[in-house]
C-alpha cells in the first residue's frame, strides 16, 4: 500500500471515529501524518503491561482485548475494543509505562498515534491543541456512556462464560452451585445486585432455571453466543 493510500485510509478512519469526529479535514490530515497503519495477527500483543508508553491506538478493523495481570497471576479483562474505537489514550497524560496490556482478538489493522510525534505536531500547529482537547472531551463523554451501557453486557458475558465452565461431559445440562451467590459475584468482579439482575435476565430469556442449588441449562447455544459478545 502506497504512502498516500495509507494516509487516505488513516484520515478516513480518524474522521469516522469518536476520537476524531470533532476535528475538521485539515486537522485530520495533520494527525494522519503522525500515524502509522499496522496489521496485527490474532493473539499478537501491541504492548504489554509495564512497557514504555509510546502512543495510543485506533482500530481500523478487528478487535483488541485490553487487560491486566493481577497480583495472583489472573488475567482481568478491562474491555474489548472494536473498529473505530481508540484505546491507551492515557499516554497523553504523561505516564511513562502502559498500565495494561493489549492483544489482538482476531486479525486486523490498527492505527498507531505516536505520542512524541503528536507533541511535535501540536507545537507546530498550536491551534490544533484546543480543537483536539474539545474532540477528546467529546470522546470521553462517549466512552463514559458506552461503559455505562456495557456494564450489564459485560456481566452477561462473565456469567455466561462461568456457567459454561461448570458443565462437564457427564452432566452437560446442569450443575450444583457450590458457593454463595455473593461469593460468585466477587469472583466475577460484579456486585451482588448486578449478578442477581443478570441471572434473572437469563431465566427470563429461558436460558436456564434454578432448581434448589442446581442450575439447569435450557439454552446452551444462547449462553455460548452471550459469552462471545452476541445476543442469545
What pLDDT, in 10s, does the model give residues 136-156? 777 677 667 766 655 666 888
Residue 17 has pLDDT above 90, yes or no: no
Contact between 57 and 64 under an 8 Å Cβ cutoff? The reply is: yes
Please determine whether the domains at 3-125 and 151-227 fall in the same fold group of CATH.
no
Unique residue bearing C-alpha cell 453486557: 153
Tens of pLDDT, residues 65-120:
888 888 888 888 777 787 888 899 889 888 999 999 999 988 899 999 999 999 99
* pLDDT of the residue at 230: 63
Please state the domain extents for the chain: 3-125, 151-227
**132 close to 27: Cβ distance less than 8 angstroms:** yes
Q: Is 231's pLDDT higher than 70?
A: no
Q: Cβ atoms within 10 A of the Cβ of 173, count?
A: 11
**Per-residue pLDDT averaged across 6-22, rounded?**
86
User: Measured between alpha carbons, how far is 165 from 153 in angstroms, rounded to an integer?
Assistant: 18
Determine if residue 229 is left, alpha or beta; phi over 0 gives left, psi from -120 to 50 gives alpha, anything else beta: left
Query: Bridge partners of 61?
Result: 109
Position 169 scores a pLDDT of: 61
CATH 2.30.110.10 fits 3-125, yes or no: no
Per-residue pLDDT tens over the stretch 194-224: 999 999 999 999 999 999 989 999 999 999 8
Which residue intervals of 65-170 are DSSP H helices?
Answer: 115-124, 127-166
pLDDT recorded at residue 147? 63
User: Does 3.40.50.2300 match the CATH number of domain 151-227?
Assistant: no
**What average pLDDT does the segment 170-184 reach?**
77
pLDDT tens digits, 184-198? 886 677 888 999 999
pLDDT of residue 19: 80
Amino acid at each position: 500500500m502506497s504512502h498516500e493510500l495509507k494516509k487516505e485510509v488513516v484520515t478516513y478512519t480518524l474522521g469516522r471515529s469518536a476520537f476524531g469526529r470533532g476535528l475538521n479535514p485539515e486537522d485530520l490530515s495533520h494527525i494522519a501524518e503522525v500515524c502509522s497503519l499496522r496489521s496485527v495477527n490474532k493473539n499478537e500483543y501491541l504492548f504489554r503491561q509495564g512497557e514504555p508508553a509510546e502512543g495510543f491506538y485506533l482500530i481500523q478493523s478487528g478487535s483488541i482485548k485490553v487487560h491486566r495481570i493481577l497480583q495472583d497471576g489472573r488475567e482481568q479483562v478491562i474491555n474489548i475494543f472494536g473498529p473505530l474505537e481508540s484505546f491507551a489514550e492515557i499516554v497523553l497524560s504523561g505516564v511513562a509505562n502502559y498500565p495494561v496490556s493489549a492483544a489482538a482478538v482476531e486479525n486486523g489493522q490498527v492505527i498507531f498515534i505516536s505520542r512524541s510525534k503528536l507533541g511535535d505536531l501540536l507545537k507546530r500547529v498550536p491551534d490544533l491543541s484546543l480543537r483536539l482537547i474539545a474532540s477528546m472531551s467529546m470522546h470521553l463523554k462517549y466512552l463514559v456512556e458506552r461503559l455505562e451501557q456495557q456494564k450489564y453486557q459485560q456481566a452477561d458475558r462473565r456469567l455466561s462464560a462461568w456457567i459454561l465452565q461448570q458443565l462437564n461431559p457427564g452432566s452437560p445440562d446442569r450443575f450444583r452451585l457450590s458457593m454463595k451467590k455473593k461469593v460468585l459475584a466477587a469472583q466475577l468482579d460484579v456486585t451482588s445486585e448486578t449478578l442477581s439482575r443478570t441471572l434473572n435476565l437469563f431465566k427470563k430469556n429461558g436460558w436456564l432455571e434454578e432448581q434448589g442449588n442446581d442450575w439447569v441449562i435450557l439454552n446452551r447455544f444462547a449462553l455460548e453466543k452471550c459469552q462471545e459478545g452476541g445476543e442469545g
